[in-house]
Amino acid sequence: MAETMRALRVNALAADYAGCAVETLPLPTPGPREVLVRVRAAGIGFPDLLMTRGDYQAKPPLPFTPGGDMAGDVVALGDGASGFAVGDAVVAMAPLGAFAEYAVYADRVLRPKPPRLSYESAAAFGSAYLTAYVALVRRARVAESEWVLVHGAAGGVGLAAVDLAKALGAKVIAASASDAKLALIAADYAPDAVINSAPGFRAAVKAITGGGADVIFDPVGGDVFDESTRCIAFDGRLLVIGFTSGRIATVATNIALIKGFSVMGVRAGEYGRQFPALGAENVAAIWALAEAGQVTPRVHAAVPLNRWREAFDIMANREVVGRVVLVP
């Protein structure tokens, strides 16, 4: 085994990833109940990009190695580590550390990689589907045959919501600002309808659903949120996932009163911290769905670690359908 490794390091918080660089570091040693993993693929999410400039709510001390979703192989075990052996293929969801050739994890955060998923697909899965699960199952409690409108449906989290909602038996409308992306989503995931989310989409939603969507999954915010309040069904649930539009919307309470809908915030990680037993159930549930082949993550591109900036730009420029992964 090598004595050093390459890792993407954030040494300063700055725009345009100016504080980031791939560096050579000593190979880490696993401590008690820790596992050293050779990273084969690491999924990129918007929080990873935001962390590089200090715009995310979690602000790790500098320097740090970003990257949460990981798939790889066990190469060494610390004292007392259990549940895994050298050579096992594993996955992890952790706040940091995955954008490197090797990473150390507590044994409790690792899970066996589902054999049906490639390393790249497994790295694209975890946090996106966990967010979708907490949103649709725990918060909205989606019922079979309810209409679910998914905004930002081409992004990693949005596409996970489309995929999961279909698996739950809901009727799904996938919404995106790109007709080309919608064509890919329609071909690969077969939602019940696709619509362009340009202003005026509420008319299409009402026509398709016969009055309004029961659940609206919104990682976009801004004008999309505003218009969503106009096409939600009575007793509907409007899920706030994020604000990729850049504007945090507000809701007039008279609209919520008249239309009888709820606005629900979704933070999958915080949900698990507040309710640890349910959090463990959530993680087990999504990986069971993956194991059974009931959901399928989509890898938009697999990019070598030394081309990390290209991978980040694909995400930042919203060119994806699914997730981009780094391959160290």
Q: What secondary structure letter does DSSP report for 16? A: G
Going by DSSP bridges, is the β-strand pair 147-150/102-106 parallel, antiparallel, or unpaired?
unpaired
pLDDT at 2: 77
**CB atoms near residue 232 (< 10 Å):** 29
pLDDT in tens, 76-99: 999 999 999 999 999 999 999 999
144 burial type by CB count under 10 A (0-12 exposed, 13-18 middle, 19+ buried): exposed
User: How large is the greatest C-alpha to C-alpha distance in the chain, in angstroms?
Assistant: 65
pLDDT at 57: 83
Contacts of 259 (CB under 8 A, 6+ apart): 229, 232, 234, 236
pLDDT at 244: 83
List the pLDDT tens digit at each of the 328 positions of the chain: 779 999 999 999 999 999 999 999 999 999 999 999 999 999 999 889 999 999 888 899 999 999 999 999 999 999 999 999 999 999 999 999 999 999 999 999 999 999 999 999 999 999 999 999 999 999 999 999 999 999 999 999 999 999 999 999 999 999 999 999 999 999 999 999 999 999 999 999 999 999 999 999 999 999 999 999 999 999 999 999 988 888 899 998 999 999 999 999 999 999 999 999 999 999 999 999 999 999 999 999 999 999 999 999 999 898 999 999 999 9
| H-state helical runs in the chain | 46-51, 119-123, 126-133, 156-167, 179-189, 201-209, 222-228, 253-259, 268-274, 276-292, 308-316
Q: What secondary structure letter does DSSP report for 72? A: E
Domains of the chain (ranges plus CATH)? 4-125+300-327 (3.90.180.10), 127-270 (3.40.50.720)
Residue 118: C-alpha distances to residues 41, 90, 267 (Å): 9, 11, 27
Phi first, then psi: what are they for 269, rounded to 5°? -65, -45
pLDDT at 158: 97
Alpha carbon of residue 294 to chain centroid: 17
Cβ–Cβ under 8 Å, residues 193 and 208: yes
> Between 276-292 and 126-133, two packed helices, what is the crossing angle to 10 degrees?
120
Give the C-alpha separation, 269 to 126, whole Å. 11
